[in-house]
Amino acid sequence: MAGRSSEGVRRAAGVLLAATLMACAPPGAPPPVPPGSQAPVPLPPMTGAGDPMRATVTSAAYAFGAPGRLDGRPAEAARAVARLEWLATELPGDPAWNEAAPITAGLLRRGRDSVRDSIGIPRSLPADAVARSMIEAAEGLDRGDRQAGAAALAPVAAGQGAALLARLDHLPPSREAGSATAIAYGELIRIGRDTGLNE
């Protein structure tokens, strides 16, 4: 009973701290990201892509296998980062992924951490917040509005959205992300072959 009570106190304290930080933030400052968010990680829209899981794995393997392909295409780089956040968080729980090698989930998390390190996003931030910022930034960039793109990135970059956007202009290579997404793609093909999904 005491454990439940102390847990409730901790949760209440966290909510109070978040409210206090929001109240103290200067006008125009990006809202703080909730530290313990458990919301599902969203995926960028992909028109005409068929099964979202397959399309996401394939797209991520393409992007992180050779990030230079995305040079000068920050919107696509932002979407790639959002897809990697989804792969590292949501894919292991997808029933269609049950037959994948268990090691793949850990490799995807390490790849995600490596990419966060390379572009300046703290590992501690919740995946859904990072993915949403990336998707919103990509939408702004698609409209040709770099200022909106930078503003969307600011909450996950300690207010330094423009610096993060500059890194997305030339997404740094990550051996961990490239390897993890390639292995995930291989597992996708193997599972499809083994279960007849590729027929």
- Give the per-residue pLDDT at 8: 41
Domain count, the chain: 1
**Taking a C-beta distance cutoff of 8 angstroms, is the pair 172, 118 a contact?**
yes
pLDDT at 57 over 70: yes
Q: How far from 187 is each of 7, 29, 101, 182, 192, CA to CA, in Å?
A: 40, 43, 7, 9, 8
Q: Which residues contact 40 (CB under 8 A, 6 or more apart)?
A: 90, 128
pLDDT in tens, 93-102: 988 899 999 9
Crossing angle of the two packed helices 146-153 and 161-169, in degrees rounded to 10: 110
Asked whether residue 16 is assigned to any structural domain, the reply reads no
Residue 40 lies in a domain: no
In a domain, 8, yes or no: no
Whole-number Å distance between alpha carbons of 186 and 191: 9
Residue 47 has pLDDT above 70, yes or no: no
Token representation of residue 159: 């207010």
pTM above 0.85, yes or no: no
d(CA 13, CA 36): 13
36, part of any domain: no
Does a structural domain hold residue 88?
Answer: yes
Task: Write out pLDDT tens, residues 5-39.
Answer: 444 434 433 333 333 333 333 444 434 444 444 68
pLDDT at residue number 194: 52
Residue 47 DSSP symbol: T
- Residue 41 inside a domain? The answer is no
**Is 137 domain-assigned?**
yes
The confidence score (pLDDT) of residue 146 equals 97
For 115-169, the pLDDT digits (tens) are 999 999 999 999 999 999 999 999 999 999 999 999 999 999 999 999 999 999 9
Neighbours of 92 (CB within 10 A): 16
**Quick one: pLDDT at residue 39?**
82
For 80-124, what is each residue's pLDDT tens digit? 999 999 999 999 998 889 999 999 999 999 999 999 999 999 999
Question: How many angstroms separate the CA atoms of 61 and 141, rounded?
Answer: 23
100 is in which domain, residue-wise? 51-195
